[in-house]
Structure 1
């Protein structure tokens, strides 16, 4: 049966009606968070000690950790220098589907090379996964492993291309990916995941040794790392620190709500470190890989737009590298006009994306090769066929 739009309409009306009251509460929480930020702006050592104290009793603590910069800092962006190289990579994949006529996976990695004063270059690397490759250790290849392999290939391709650029040019190079550097698809007990994650860390370490910049760009971030840090201060003031990790007294306020009040166009926030179980794996492997971040206003005075930029400590501790990264990102975002986003990342996505028509073509190529070699031809499952029938013969 189709969606009952009348039921949905009534639910929308009721839930949107509640927004007015929620907005008032959220504004009060935001005012309190801003007050805390200003009071603790220059108490970085105190806050670092507080995070350390709480982390001993709250394993799942996830928050920002201050560096040497004041919490309320706003660093203006400078014009981009004349010579630099930005390598942006993005990946897409076809997830194996056992209901299709043939089960296969694809990892497609696109790279866009932008050098000032030169014609941009594009590169794509495609890899198909078939048969035994889909069942490592006799277990079906999961989405977590496929996504981790995609991230790993992005970083490997960036490092490979950056080394080639270094051989030909004597210009600063930054590598950029879409999304956080922190990986949430991290190994628990899976040995294959552990190996892939270690390979990812190794590539980052090699990139550092090569003197190449690294960053991840998070568009429209919903994170509240700094807010969570301020909550610890609030709980301590209320002598309720034992509730850390359980109660969220400023829940609903995001970091971008805070920094929208203090970052003019082009400015970045202070640099913070990420304190979390997943982020700890980076610093445990190599302290230079400790994950850091700052917020950057890539919008205008009329339309501020804040993004989060993640970078490893070896970049974060180099003031010139940070300033260059800020200038490059602002330059890239300006090229996209009213919808600021790094041009190079946008192009890398266009290069990497696998469209449905390509999915179908690849499936047909595999089936034809199996048939040519005398193999048995398979058909899609009855379940998938019934879905296509109910969709009027169109594939979902």
Structure 2
């Protein structure tokens, strides 16, 4: 039990610390503003330096593809539009439960605005219990729990692509009067395969698609899967190709994909200013700083983050310049390399990530940003489609209890003996104190 009286004694120290941090953050913003003004004047020179010395720079630097002083006011979305979203949750495997297995639950959302059409709000569960699935990752030194999280990421992307395909089929049926109506309720469809997607070359987007309302595909969190850098190539090939295949389906259907990051902790964009702050003629971190970039002389505003800075530089409804991420894992993304910008959505400054094919298409880029901002406004500070996808996916305590009760009943029906939790788990669920 938590002793609140003892915690209350520590609150004064916390409040004093936060006050000091707020003042320090204000000073860091002033420094960053000064560097931003100088970097705006020297932007082309700094980009040339980065291209020449990028392999010698010891920190992640995003490259601006628009002037640093770009400020664009976003327009409201058209009345008729559609938003797709997925989010995932899970029941983790435990040796103390009645069976060692895990469950993935993917929330699926399709919201139609101004179209008099029914929404889709449901979830797609899958139970993983076969040894070849549970222990597949052990050969690469990856725990089952960690692999479960990776499979959830794959499932979210693949289900999003399937939602988009089903939506377009339904729209084609409505527009052209095709026999039979396509339903978005494909609840019998399995979750994405565990093997890599086929390595055939992607086809070009279709240009003969019928007219349809603007549509957006949303996911919660970053589209840059940094964790893949740490995985063996064979393990990575089981995760990334199916994700990119799902994104390719969106590209073919001209549905922009957005990764929405609330309270982003990234400093990738501000790191570009460190090139301006570098006291040396060349930004050669390996030679001048011995690779110790955290204590380098160019680190003059740490630990200021991008979102904190842009909150002072943008007005509500504005976006800043577009940036290209330089994360090494993006070398494996092909046409889906990730770009991002910061958008002042009113309640906060959010990082909005998009694949290259969205950024390179002015119409898709405008649709993506307009619909994202409108979603935040409809959700009172957070995209309503993502909030609903989370609510559909989340596995609460009662759901977990019912899941294992159902599993126990099936095991007893199958004739298994000694079905039950471990003594440790049983004692934790009931106290004798």
- TM class, shorter-chain normalised? 0.7 to 0.9
8 Å contact 1:216–1:311 — kept in the other structure? Answer: yes
Q: Does 1:75 align with 2:123?
A: no
**Residue 324 of structure 2: aligned partner:** 273
Identify if the C-alpha distance between structure 1 residues 142 and 249 changes in structure 2 by more than 3 Å, giving closer, same or farther.
Answer: farther
Q: Does 1:251 align with 2:325?
A: no
8 Å contact 1:293–1:308 — kept in the other structure? Answer: yes
Correspondent of 1:175 among 202, 217, 224: 217
**Residue 395 of structure 2: aligned partner:** 354
Deviation at 1:47, TM superposition (A): 2.9
8 Å contact 1:76–1:268 — kept in the other structure? Answer: yes
**Residue 314 of structure 2: aligned partner:** 263
* TM-score normalised by L of structure 2: 0.80
8 Å contact 1:231–1:250 — kept in the other structure? Answer: no
8 Å contact 1:101–1:379 — kept in the other structure? Answer: yes
- Structure-1 separation of matches of 2:162 and 2:317: 31
Correspondent of 2:263 among 209, 212, 220: 220
Correspondent of 1:370 among 382, 390, 411: 411
Q: Does 1:307 align with 2:356?
A: no
Q: Does 1:97 align with 2:97?
A: no
**Residue 184 of structure 1: aligned partner:** 226
Segment drifting more, 138-147 vs 120-129: 138-147
Segment drifting more, 88-97 vs 37-46: 37-46
SS at match of 2:77: coil
Identify if the C-alpha distance between structure 1 residues 92 and 235 changes in structure 2 by more than 3 Å, giving closer, same or farther.
Answer: same
**Residue 112 of structure 1: aligned partner:** 109
Identify if the C-alpha distance between structure 1 residues 391 and 256 changes in structure 2 by more than 3 Å, giving closer, same or farther.
Answer: farther
Q: How many residues align?
A: 379
SS at match of 1:79: coil
Deviation at 1:207, TM superposition (A): 2.7
**Residue 153 of structure 1: aligned partner:** 155
- Structure-1 separation of matches of 2:329 and 2:243: 14
8 Å contact 2:340–2:353 — kept in the other structure? Answer: yes
SS at match of 1:91: strand
Deviation at 1:358, TM superposition (A): 1.2
**Residue 253 of structure 2: aligned partner:** 210
- Structure-2 separation of matches of 1:378 and 1:105: 17
Deviation at 1:315, TM superposition (A): 0.4
SS at match of 1:162: helix
**Residue 322 of structure 1: aligned partner:** 365
Q: Deviations over 1:271-301 (max 9, x none)?
A: 101112233432xxx1x211111111111xx
Segment drifting more, 223-232 vs 273-282: 273-282
8 Å contact 2:216–2:367 — kept in the other structure? Answer: no
* TM-score normalised by L of structure 1: 0.87
Deviation at 1:92, TM superposition (A): 0.8
- Structure-2 separation of matches of 1:230 and 1:137: 40
**Residue 136 of structure 1: aligned partner:** 136
**Residue 40 of structure 2: aligned partner:** 41
- Structure-1 separation of matches of 2:26 and 2:156: 40
8 Å contact 1:91–1:154 — kept in the other structure? Answer: yes
Identify if the C-alpha distance between structure 1 residues 316 and 240 changes in structure 2 by more than 3 Å, giving closer, same or farther.
Answer: closer
- Structure-2 separation of matches of 1:49 and 1:20: 40
SS at match of 1:180: coil
Deviation at 1:349, TM superposition (A): 1.2
**Residue 203 of structure 2: aligned partner:** none
The unaligned stretches of length 5 or more in structure 2 are 172-210
Q: Does 1:125 align with 2:124?
A: yes
Deviation at 1:374, TM superposition (A): 1.3
8 Å contact 1:65–1:273 — kept in the other structure? Answer: yes
The unaligned stretches of length 5 or more in structure 1 are none
Q: Deviations over 1:96-135 (max 9, x none)?
A: 1112122221111111112222332223211011141322
**Residue 292 of structure 1: aligned partner:** 339
Segment drifting more, 349-358 vs 112-121: 112-121
8 Å contact 1:110–1:349 — kept in the other structure? Answer: yes
8 Å contact 1:370–1:377 — kept in the other structure? Answer: no
